[in-house]
Amino acid sequence: MQEELQSQLDKTPIVKQAKNIIFFLGDGTSISTLTAARLAKGHLTGNHEHEVMAYEKFPYSTLIKTYSSDKVVTDSAASATAYLNGVKANQATIGVDANEAGKSTGIVTVTRVTHASPAGTFAHTAERHWENDDDVNDDDYDSEKCDDIAEQLVLGDTGSKIKVILGGGRQKFTPKGVVDPEGGDGGKRDDGKNLIETWLNHKQELGNATYTWNRDQFLTVDTANTDYLLGLFDWGHMGWAIDKEPSNPTLQEMAKAAIEILQRDDNGYFLFVEGGNIDLAHHKNEYRSAIEEALEFEKAISYAASVTDPEETLIIVTADHSQPLVINGYQERGADVLDLGDYSNVDGMPFTALLYTQGPGYRGEVNGERPDPSLEDYTNPHYAGAAAVPLTSSNHAGEDVILYARGPHSHLFTGIHENAFIPHALRYASCTGHGLQFCTQQEQP
């Protein structure tokens, strides 16, 4: 504890321009998710409650308020607008600002790259579900007038400047009739455009460009000689980390390739890395799967922290909103948080340490009794934890999330802030976009 005190006393803000920014977003990553992930990792390493996650070593942290303009509990699209744009309506995003400042940009996710959070870095759209033109037409809007998100990523002012795009979602980029390389349903586009080919053709005019769709190919990419990289590793969202799909690289492998390519820009870079499946697993109340995704997210952060210099790279780690996961019961120290937690003193039956307040894990009563989880397959990777209220998919939860920060101006992130504050601080630190900037503040007498 004396050591901990000393490190607090030694903490000094880094008052410099941030050359690079890496924005790690854990979708739906509540504080309870982070705590459970720490306990789960500690159970594996033997450090138990003393385990320290990579982001916990960052010197500064703040609580973040996530409510949206019309709801106390936000969806991912509204929160992306806030934490990337700095307002509750569409304006220039931090991705746009980085481009305009001559920095390289990249997005990495395990969801479809056109999904709400990554799309927030480049797309302007009235509707988060308009990921391809068919989605627009289905809603009786004109896809000629309203460019879908995939088209904006390949042809839009901001999207077309993104150098590294890694994630899932091939269906949104290829026309109907095009067979997917992994089988199953093919392309979904009505307009006949093959946006993967378009991307490759455009980028090959500008430099060395590579498209890849599976892990084996991806791991052979020579990042030292690649200027543009598009990796679409799944037809839809990428597979669950807990299922270890062979064609899917890990989040850490994708973050590594992105950093290696982007760091060659002397002007610096802005990289957005999303642990997108944490939220999707929570929506199904599958806590083992959600925690596995959170552990993969932490590995990517650990890697990024190890290969970047805190004197020039600002790293932030946060969530767009919470999920209704709760850590329950009085488990003994050293117990497995993914296991049964404690016993009810009413019905005498055990309950799992991780439970949800709402979602598809609701079971109701069987013969007037709560189902006994010890009689269920609760070690199954896709086991749905019990929920108090039935919903086909969990609703997001509304309490504050946490943000961890390391690097130049990370000391701006202390206390409690609106989610829309985040890009204002990032712009200030990196001297990009509108509003106050560290660099111009320095020029004043």
32 assigned to active site:
no
How near is the Cβ of 324 to Zn ion at its closest, in Å?
Answer: 11
Strand partners, 20: 313
Q: Are 143 and 137 in contact (CB under 8 A)?
A: yes
279 known ligand binder: yes
Quick note: the x/- pattern for Zn ion over 269-288, rule CB under 5 A, is ----------x---------
274 known ligand binder: yes
E strand or H helix that includes residue 427: helix 421-430
Cα(42)–Cα(38) distance, integer angstroms: 6
282 known ligand binder: no
Cα(370)–Cα(68) distance, integer angstroms: 36
Tell me the two tokens of residue 285: 């109340």
DSSP label of 266:
T
Size of the site for Zn ion (CB under 5 A): 1
306 known ligand binder: no
User: Is 273 or 280 the residue whose CB approaches Zn ion more closely?
Assistant: 280
283 known ligand binder: yes
Tell me the two tokens of residue 32: 């309870």
Hey, how many other C-beta atoms are within 10 angstroms of the C-beta on 8?
9
User: Is 147 or 279 the residue whose CB approaches Zn ion more closely?
Assistant: 279
Cα(386)–Cα(344) distance, integer angstroms: 14
**Strands of 354-359's sheet, edge to edge?**
325-327, 354-359, 387-390
134 known ligand binder: no
How near is the Cβ of 130 to Zn ion at its closest, in Å?
Answer: 17
Dihedral of CA atoms 69, 135, 113, 168 in degrees, nearest 10, equals: 140
Tell me the two tokens of residue 76: 């991912």
End-to-end C-alpha distance for the chain, whole angstroms: 43
Q: Nearest to residue 23, comparing CAs of 347, 324, 244, 318?
A: 318
How near is the Cβ of 76 to Zn ion at its closest, in Å?
Answer: 5
Cα(27)–Cα(256) distance, integer angstroms: 20
How near is the Cβ of 95 to Zn ion at its closest, in Å?
Answer: 21
Distance (Å) of CA 215 to CA 53, 189, 248 = 26, 25, 5
Q: Are 193 and 259 in contact (CB under 8 A)?
A: no
237 known ligand binder: no
User: Is 164 or 325 the residue whose CB approaches Zn ion more closely?
Assistant: 325
Q: Which of 30, 32, 61, 76 is catalytic?
A: 76
Closest residue (Cβ) to Zn ion? 279
User: Is 104 or 109 the residue whose CB approaches Zn ion more closely?
Assistant: 109
User: Is 96 or 123 the residue whose CB approaches Zn ion more closely?
Assistant: 123
Cα(109)–Cα(276) distance, integer angstroms: 6
> Applying CB under 5 A, does 320 fall inside the site for Zn ion?
no
Q: Are 210 and 230 in contact (CB under 8 A)?
A: yes
User: Is 148 or 279 the residue whose CB approaches Zn ion more closely?
Assistant: 279
289 known ligand binder: no
Q: Which residues of 123-143 are buried (b: 16+ CB within 10 A; e: fewer)?
A: bbbeebbbbbbbbbbeeebeb
124 known ligand binder: no
CB neighbour list of residue 42: distance below 8 Å, 6 or more residues apart = 48, 49, 50, 51
Cα(255)–Cα(108) distance, integer angstroms: 7
Residue carrying structure tokens 């010890």? 374
Cα(20)–Cα(105) distance, integer angstroms: 10
User: Is 90 or 393 the residue whose CB approaches Zn ion more closely?
Assistant: 393
How near is the Cβ of 320 to Zn ion at its closest, in Å?
Answer: 8
Binding positions are 27, 115, 117, 274, 279, 283, 320-321, 396
Write out the residues near Zn ion by the rule CB under 5 A.
Answer: 279
Catalytic residues: 76
Binding positions for Zn(2+) are 27, 279, 283, 320-321, 396
Binding positions for Mg(2+) are 27, 115, 117, 274
